[in-house]
């Protein structure tokens, strides 16, 4: 309503609708397979960065045309008279323009530091909106673009601002749709209402008083409708069971909806007060400037905050490992653990973590605690499924996650949660029932080996998730993301607890089938696709031909590269890349990206030494057991065995781990963190574990 404008209403509506339908056309046109998939989804699929770029270019062209025509119709002489009459106006507009320039900077900051593609898209839209507003106010302050007079009080109507509103309001509504994953019809309803509201406001300013009153009232009613609809749209997305989860956290959505309703309410209020003669034109303009700024910049600030929060999560993780190190030093100085347990005002989770740190090396104690906690929660009356989901959510973002502490139900929840968090479910319209069936099938195809079992696969999936969200969001494509998750869970399918060397030496059937070449890895990869293409388990059925080709290439390449025999080739290649200055422009280079993805999955497969020591110890003991079983079998079959696999006590375990860390894991992570500096904190964990193993080895040496 405050947004009075002389432009005719049909144009307003068209501008509003075009902006929205353009998006659906763009996503529909991208490829026939994708078009089909998008059509089936209930929610707005987040447009890919490329689509949004094209929309941005289109909107900038529209904006330049509007600017051009306004300059053509400008009346500088009349504007100068207005500025002479209202002496502060020019400084208001100038100041608002500077404020918007600052806001645009903020948006660009959020865009550059975006922690996911979706947040990048959202920040990009805001940068466009604030940039347009900045130019608009700048031109109002300097170009004197004005040619209309308000019919009731003879005040000037600044066309540039209203032109800006016509373009930015639908864009902001589209933004709200993306942020709350509203369905298309809701967003187009709101956009239509908003167009009517703008048109009503414009019309009421040039009509004579009585008709103007009715149009104004109608416009006000539409305003209420828009606000209520928007309130409901965000409210829906904030429901805990809303699927798929929105790209912004729920508390951010809550802030957004309050912010939008509050700041957008200022415009009709100002218009009402001005018409009633309570405030004069200049005061109203000052209020409008502030409201316009608040309406747009509030969103940007919440965006920046959301990104910072996630970046902070990584810092918290680093602090956590530093603290863990400190606690270990304290433990060595024999500080009483019971005193620590009495800490008052400490959060239960923190307390149990501290207790775990002090509980020493009793295997499975953490597991018992977890079970006890679960039982306690059960008494409080929560459903088991809720607990599983919560457990999955709470441990999903930390590097010390250990699948050994979790039930099968929890682990399935963890897997589903990873797929949800990375939004591949809605991106590829994966049927959740099929996803669960696929997970179940994959789980049953793992053997109950001490080490190479289903829990190891989930650990690798989880580590892959952390690695990807830490370093790959910049360059990984959607289909590669899906491929990585499938590869991680499938990478040791039907592993029988025996090495490739055993298969080759024993002339096993698998060795014959795969000609002694990466025998197990070929088998895992083969099974991965066999399960994937089974009818009830086909989670990739909605991929088009090209997408499937890329998915297959990534999965095969990643799984084959988990063969330790390829470790040194990859390491030398990474050294070479680092010597030449690191990976350049990964987003554009398919081959290089294929290599990096294989590097990341191999890193995840070697995750034991980047876990807390207790976890590292439990898993290496399991691997030792698996090796011992093989040695036993080798003896029975008169086959050669490797000396390092024969050790069956803690001393040889420590020695083996020291060698493994020094010669395999550490050199690998040194190159990895040079290529991806965000991961260099993992070297601290590796060093801490190495020190622990050395202490154990040393204690045995002294005993002899
Ligand atoms: Zn593995």
Whichever domain contains 604, its CATH number is 1.10.1300.10
Distance between CA atoms of 267 and 33, rounded to whole angstroms?
A: 44
pLDDT tens string 377-397: 332 333 333 334 444 444 567
The helix (run of H) or strand (run of E) holding residue 272 is: helix 250-275
Closest CA to 523 of 446, 595, 437: 446
pLDDT number for residue 15:
32
pLDDT band, residue 277 (cuts 50/70/90) = confident
Q: Kindly state the tokens that stand for 71.
A: 């300059």
User: According to the annotation, is 521 in a ligand binding site?
Assistant: yes
User: According to the annotation, is 605 in a ligand binding site?
Assistant: yes
pLDDT band, residue 201 (cuts 50/70/90) = confident
pLDDT tens string 569-583: 999 999 999 998 888
Q: For residue 149, list its beta bridge partners.
A: 156
User: According to the annotation, is 626 in a ligand binding site?
Assistant: no
When mean pLDDT is compared across 393-397, 482-486, 565-569, the lowest value belongs to: 393-397
DSSP strand pairing (156-157 vs 148-149): antiparallel
User: Among residues 452, 495, 524, 602, which one is catalytic?
Assistant: 452
Residue-level length of the chain: 704
- CA of residue 545 to ligand 1 center, whole Å: 29
pLDDT number for residue 164:
80
When mean pLDDT is compared across 174-178, 387-391, 563-567, 627-631, the lowest value belongs to: 387-391
Q: If you average pLDDT over each of 79-93, 152-166, 201-215, which comes out highest?
A: 79-93
Distance between CA atoms of 687 and 137, rounded to whole angstroms?
A: 56
Q: For residue 157, list its beta bridge partners.
A: 148
Return phi, psi of residue 417, to 5°: -60, -40
* 107: exposed, middle or buried (Cβ count in 10 Å: 0-12, 13-18, 19+): buried
**CA 421 to the chain's CA centroid:** 7
Asked if 301 and 436 sit in the same domain, the reply is: no
Closest CA to 160 of 21, 292, 298: 292
pLDDT number for residue 622:
94
Q: If you average pLDDT over each of 6-15, 43-52, 406-415, 667-676, which comes out highest?
A: 667-676
Asked if 536 and 629 sit in the same domain, the reply is: yes
Residue 104 forms part of a structural domain: yes
Residue 347 forms part of a structural domain: no
Domain boundary among 266, 281, 305: 305
Residue 321 forms part of a structural domain: no
- CA of residue 563 to ligand 1 center, whole Å: 9
On the question of pLDDT at 40 being above 50, the answer is no
Residue 158 forms part of a structural domain: yes
Residue 299 forms part of a structural domain: yes
pLDDT number for residue 69:
78
Asked if 300 and 405 sit in the same domain, the reply is: no
Annotation says 452 is catalytic: yes
Asked if 270 and 413 sit in the same domain, the reply is: no
Closest CA to 192 of 217, 225, 163, 165: 225
Residue 9 forms part of a structural domain: no
pLDDT band, residue 603 (cuts 50/70/90) = very high
1 versus 606: the higher-pLDDT residue is 606
As a whole number, mean pLDDT of residues 117-140 equals 85
Q: Kindly state the tokens that stand for 166.
A: 């016509």
On the question of pLDDT at 328 being above 90, the answer is no
Distance between CA atoms of 412 and 704, rounded to whole angstroms?
A: 46
Asked if 592 and 691 sit in the same domain, the reply is: yes
Q: For residue 488, list its beta bridge partners.
A: none
Instruction: Give the other-Cβ count within 10 Å of 58's Cβ.
Output: 14
Asked if 509 and 607 sit in the same domain, the reply is: yes
Asked if 639 and 546 sit in the same domain, the reply is: yes
Q: Kindly state the tokens that stand for 276.
A: 């009633």
pLDDT band, residue 347 (cuts 50/70/90) = very low
Q: Kindly state the tokens that stand for 296.
A: 């747009």
User: According to the annotation, is 492 in a ligand binding site?
Assistant: yes
Number of domains in the chain: 2
Domain that holds residue 289: 49-305
Q: Kindly state the tokens that stand for 671.
A: 């190159």
- CA of residue 445 to ligand 1 center, whole Å: 14
Asked if 567 and 467 sit in the same domain, the reply is: yes
Closest CA to 256 of 221, 198, 291, 298: 298
Domain boundary among 247, 270, 305: 305
pLDDT number for residue 305:
77
* Dihedral sign from CA coordinates of 326, 699, 335, 620: positive
Q: Please list the alpha-helical segments (H only) found in 543-678.
A: 545-560, 567-579, 590-605, 613-636, 650-660, 666-675
Asked if 401 and 297 sit in the same domain, the reply is: no
pLDDT tens string 400-454: 888 988 887 788 888 998 998 888 998 899 988 899 999 999 999 999 899 999 9
Q: Please list the alpha-helical segments (H only) found in 431-543.
A: 432-444, 454-467, 478-490, 500-505, 509-513, 519-532
- CA of residue 452 to ligand 1 center, whole Å: 6
Residue 554 forms part of a structural domain: yes
Mean of the per-residue pLDDT values for the chain?
A: 78
On the question of pLDDT at 613 being above 90, the answer is yes
pLDDT number for residue 26:
32
On the question of pLDDT at 10 being above 70, the answer is no
The helix (run of H) or strand (run of E) holding residue 156 is: strand 156-157
On the question of pLDDT at 161 being above 70, the answer is yes
- CA of residue 574 to ligand 1 center, whole Å: 21
- DSSP secondary structure letter of residue 247: S
pLDDT number for residue 388:
40
Whichever domain contains 56, its CATH number is 1.20.1070.10
* Dihedral sign from CA coordinates of 119, 125, 127, 133: negative
pLDDT number for residue 233:
87
Residue 209 forms part of a structural domain: yes
Asked if 54 and 193 sit in the same domain, the reply is: yes
Distance between CA atoms of 105 and 114, rounded to whole angstroms?
A: 14
Q: Percent of the chain at pLDDT above 70?
A: 76
Asked if 282 and 416 sit in the same domain, the reply is: no
pLDDT number for residue 371:
37
**Cβ–Cβ under 8 Å, residues 257 and 226:** no
User: According to the annotation, is 503 in a ligand binding site?
Assistant: no
590: helix, strand or coil: helix
Asked if 265 and 411 sit in the same domain, the reply is: no
Domain boundary among 261, 283, 305: 305
Instruction: Give the other-Cβ count within 10 Å of 652's Cβ.
Output: 17
Whether residue 676 has a cis bond before it, omega within 30° of 0: no
């Amino acid at each position: 309503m405050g947004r009075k404008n002389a432009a005719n209403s049909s144009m307003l509506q068209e501008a509003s609708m075009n902006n929205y339908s353009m998006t659906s056309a763009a996503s529909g046109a991208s490829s026939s397979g994708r078009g089909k998939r998008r059509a089936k989804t209930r929610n707005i699929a987040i447009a890919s960065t490329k689509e949004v770029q094209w929309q941005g270019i289109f909107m900038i062209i529209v904006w330049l045309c509007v600017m051009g025509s306004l300059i053509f119709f400008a009346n500088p002489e009349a504007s100068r008279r207005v500025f002479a009459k209202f002496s502060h106006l020019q400084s208001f507009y100038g100041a608002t323009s500077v404020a918007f320039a600052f806001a645009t900077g903020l948006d660009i900051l959020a865009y550059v530091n975006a922690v996911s593609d979706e947040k990048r898209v959202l920040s990009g839209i805001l940068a466009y909106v604030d940039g347009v507003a900045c130019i608009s106010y700048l031109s109002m302050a300097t170009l004197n673009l004005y040619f209309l007079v308000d019919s009731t009080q003879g005040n000037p109507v600044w066309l540039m601002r209203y032109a800006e509103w016509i373009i930015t309001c639908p864009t902001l509504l589209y933004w709200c749709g993306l942020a709350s994953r509203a369905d298309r019809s809701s967003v187009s309803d709101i956009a239509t209402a908003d167009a009517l509201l703008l048109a009503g406001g414009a019309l009421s300013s040039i009509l004579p008083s009585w008709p103007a009153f009715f149009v104004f009232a109608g416009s006000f009613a539409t305003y209420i409708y828009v606000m209520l609809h928007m309130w409901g749209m965000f409210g829906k997305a904030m429901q805990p069971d809303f699927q798929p989860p929105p790209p912004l956290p729920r508390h951010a959505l809550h802030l957004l909806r309050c912010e939008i309703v509050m700041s957008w309410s200022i415009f009709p209020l100002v218009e009402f007060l001005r018409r009633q003669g309570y405030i004069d034109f200049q005061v109203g303009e000052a209020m409008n400037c502030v409201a316009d700024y608040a309406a747009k910049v509030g969103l940007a600030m919440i965006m920046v905050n959301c990104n910072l929060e996630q970046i902070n999560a990584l810092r918290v993780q680093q602090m956590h490992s530093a603290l863990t190190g400190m606690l270990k030093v304290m433990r060595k100085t024999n500080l009483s653990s019971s005193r620590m347990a009495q800490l008052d005002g400490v959060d239960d989770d923190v307390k149990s973590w501290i207790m775990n740190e002090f509980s020493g090396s009793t295997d499975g104690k953490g597991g018992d605690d977890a079970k006890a906690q679960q039982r306690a929660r059960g008494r409080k009356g929560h459903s088991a499924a809720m607990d599983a989901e919560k457990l999955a959510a709470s441990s999903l973002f930390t590097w010390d996650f250990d699948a050994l502490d979790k039930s099968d139900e929890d682990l399935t929840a963890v897997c589903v949660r990873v797929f949800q968090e990375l939004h591949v479910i809605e991106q590829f319209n994966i049927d959740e029932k099929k996803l669960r069936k696929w997970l179940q099938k994959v789980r049953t195809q793992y053997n109950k080996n001490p080490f190479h079992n289903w829990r190891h696969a989930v650990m690798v999936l989880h580590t892959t998730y952390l690695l990807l969200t830490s370093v790959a969001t910049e360059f990984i494509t959607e289909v590669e993301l899906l491929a990585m998750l499938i590869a991680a869970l499938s990478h040791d399918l039907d592993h029988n607890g025996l090495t490739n060397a055993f298969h080759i030496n024993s002339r096993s059937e698998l060795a014959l089938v795969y000609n002694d070449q990466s025998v197990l890895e070929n088998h895992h990869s083969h099974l991965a696709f066999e399960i994937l293409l089974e009818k009830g388990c086909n989670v990739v059925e909605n991929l088009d031909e090209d997408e499937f080709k890329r998915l297959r290439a990534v999965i095969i390449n990643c799984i084959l590269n988990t063969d330790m025999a390829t470790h040194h080739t990859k390491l030398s290649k990474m050294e070479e890349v680092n010597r030449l200055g690191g990976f350049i422009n990964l987003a554009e280079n398919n081959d290089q990206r294929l290599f990096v993805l294989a590097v990341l999955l191999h890193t995840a497969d070697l995750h034991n030494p980047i876990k807390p020591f207790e976890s590292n110890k439990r898993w290496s003991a399991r691997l030792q057991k698996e090796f011992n079983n093989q040695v036993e079998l080798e003896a029975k079959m008169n086959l050669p065995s490797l000396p390092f696999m024969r050790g069956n006590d803690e001393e040889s375990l420590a020695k083996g781990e020291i060698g493994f860390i020094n010669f395999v894991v550490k050199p690998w992570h040194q190159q990895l963190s040079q290529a991806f500096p965000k991961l260099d904190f993992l070297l601290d964990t590796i060093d801490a574990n190495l020190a622990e193993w050395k202490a154990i080895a040393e204690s045995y040496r002294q005993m002899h």
